[in-house]
Chain A
């Protein structure tokens, strides 16, 4: 790196190569994410049915219609009910699994893989399996119930049980995945903390609440935020298992958007719905963004 002009040429080459290497990705992200998010907002001010292809400007018409629609409020309620069941149960289950399987011996490793297994499967496909498994005609557990003379409930056709069942299936699907994240968090806690606590004669429960839990907060908050966001986007198991029914009891927001856009082709209305959902999600997303910024600072960038 001798002369000044040599360094200048190097910098120029770095800049040019960098710009060239980043541009395909920026172009793709621009066309397929940034442009759609702007177009979505634009479309939300139009009444536009793709089937009849009649398009007219309505201003805030779609939004007004949305907030007067009972079906929208139902979808909001169902989404929040789902989140209220899914997130706490998921956190509890994955925390219990992680704490129970912390020790690194081979049997625990096998159990970890078992719990992780659902996470590698397609949600849509495994939801088909669950739909059959819960079916009162062919399901295994309903079959057992019937064999010993207990009453059989068709869970997915019951308006008060269908949504909890879907939440249960998604917890089953994601618990092992989040367990892995929490296990990584547990591994960052130094053994010496526990050894010191042992010398002071602390009980297991005391150690859990005074050492494990507080030091696991970063991992727990990551799991909490990512799953909160994901729970507002639930779609696959609903589509496969209930199609929003029975009696709209599982019609969550994304299913409602899907229905408006791709069953009745109301593109403008669906775009407005999507923006309402976006506003709900963005509150939690900002927490996630804060994490990214903090990581950047810690890395000294």
Chain B
């Protein structure tokens, strides 16, 4: 009796969750279908989800109206550049903080934690002025350089390096490896999964980021996708379906990365919740 009631309750909550999940997917589904409609179809029959006539008009229109592929390139350079440098510097600093006793290490660690607590929005004005004074507005360098290291990334890597057993490092020392050699050959190879997770975090965060590139770029030649699309949308609010087509295309690469790395990605988030 109780078992049956339990089962019924489980089915009930299961179907509720399914309905909620379908509702949560609706924006994506709607974006997908709408991007294959003409402007007339969408405006004329907003109540229809599926296009009555499929067309790639919106896709050719968005490519014609804005330098879409250039913006894809901008996004790749920005997100890719930040990820590359940040992995390099985050892991080096994280390793030094975890395993190498250098003078002033605890002060350095506190500094990292303090910078972790400073919200970007609070420093965006002087940061903008700094890039402005360095004559780096509207350049890739201006976008990337301030983000070449990241306090969260340093902390994240340090926590993983702490789990590398010291005996292994000593074994490397016995073999005559230099301290830097131990880092490269032993420690990095043992934390490859953490490095990959952090890399995905950095790439995704910057691919999706909006406010920073909005401040630093001012031409379409340097704007990453979110900025390019949002500004275009502000000026051409009548081009609904081309913008939706552009939105879909810009989400696609991240979606592919997510589908392939889902497990380690979600585990990374879970870890940051438990540890942080």
Contacts and interface: CB of A to CB of B under 8 A. Distances in A.
Interface of A: 1, 10-11, 13-19, 21-22, 24-26, 28-29, 31-37, 39-40, 43, 50, 97, 100-101, 107, 111-118, 120-133, 137-140, 142-144, 146-147, 172, 176-177, 180-185, 188, 204, 219, 222-223, 229, 232-233, 235-236, 239-240, 243, 254, 257-258, 261-262, 267, 270-271, 274-275, 277-278, 281-282, 285, 288-289, 291-292, 295, 299, 301
A281 B120 CA distance: 12
Contacts of B103: 15, 19
Contacts of A36: 123, 126-127, 130
Contact of A34 (B111, B122, B269): B111
Interface in B182-233: 183, 204, 207-211, 214-215, 225-227, 229-230, 233
Given A21-B95, A261-B124, A124 B210 contact: yes
A231 to B, nearest CB: 12
Contacts of A112: 266
A13 B169 CA distance: 14
A108 B268 CA distance: 19
Contacts, number: 292
B122 A22 contact: no
Interface stretch (B53-61, B62-70, B143-151): B143-151
Contacts of B125: 40, 43, 257, 261, 267, 270-271, 274
Contacts of B164: none
Interface residues of B, number: 104
Contacts of A97: 17
A257 B266 CA distance: 34
Contacts of A295: 275-276
Contact of A257 (B113, B121, B173): B121
Given A18-B105, A121-B208, A115 B43 contact: no
Contacts of A258: 124, 211
B123 A22 contact: no
A289 B149 contact: no
Contacts of B250: 122, 125
A140 B227 CA distance: 25
B1 interface: no
A125 B117 contact: no
Interface in B239-276: 240, 243-244, 247, 250-251, 254-255, 258, 262, 266, 269-276
A32 B118 CA distance: 11
